[in-house]
Structure 1
């Protein structure tokens, strides 16, 4: 289990416990966090679960695979070294304290 903080574009913070084995996107969906739409349900096919990851955490995550990199091109205002699709980040105990910032909108 990891405690993850989701920060909406307007600054509203939501800190929730997310079970290991779920994705960061599923943690947002299961806890009704606004700002992550997850239209494709986690299939890495829509980019509506895009989020910005703080630099220290970004380096600790597994690398971005080709499919995710391609889908990030369709995200709202992606930023190199910050943008990830939350459906591609598996939660582990090592992610306890992770902070994700949500974009102004999802497209």
Structure 2
């Protein structure tokens, strides 16, 4: 049986949407949001080159370290914060249960 975790996404209007996702499929947080019909363009399809999946991490467990491509892209964004991430680069793991992210302007 697959393990499920919950991820909470805060939309631009402040609404919080709770998503349930399996941890054994190698999905990214971006893919989970798109599968649940949230407004995430993800124009580059998860290549870390467009930032249209930009999120601010509000609460988290253990997250993977940021790679150089993600860090470079985030440095160029006017709305980036110290806790900004590209959701396409966050692969869902059991440690992410309870993750809370806010969609940033680049993602809507």
Q: Give the TM-score of the pair, scaled to structure 1.
A: 0.86
Task: List 4+ stretches of structure 1 deviating above 2 A.
Answer: 73-76
Residue 71 of structure 1: SS of its match in structure 2? helix
**Alignment partner of 1:3 out of 1, 6, 13:** 6
| Paired positions, count | 102
Question: Any idea what the Cα deviations from partners look like across 1:21-64, whole Å, max 9, x if unmatched?
Answer: 20000000100012x2211111111111000002x52x721111
Residue 78 of structure 1 is matched in structure 2 by 80
Is the strand fraction higher in 1 or 2?
A: 2
Q: Distance in 2 between matches of 1:39 and 1:76?
A: 18
Gaps of 5+ in 2: none
Gaps of 5+ in 1: none
Measured on the aligned residues, the alpha-carbon RMSD in Å equals 1.6
Residue 55 of structure 2 is matched in structure 1 by 51
Residue 37 of structure 2: SS of its match in structure 1? coil
List aligned pairs for 1:60-71, cutoff 5 A. Answer: 60-71=62-73
Q: Give the TM-score of the pair, scaled to structure 2.
A: 0.85
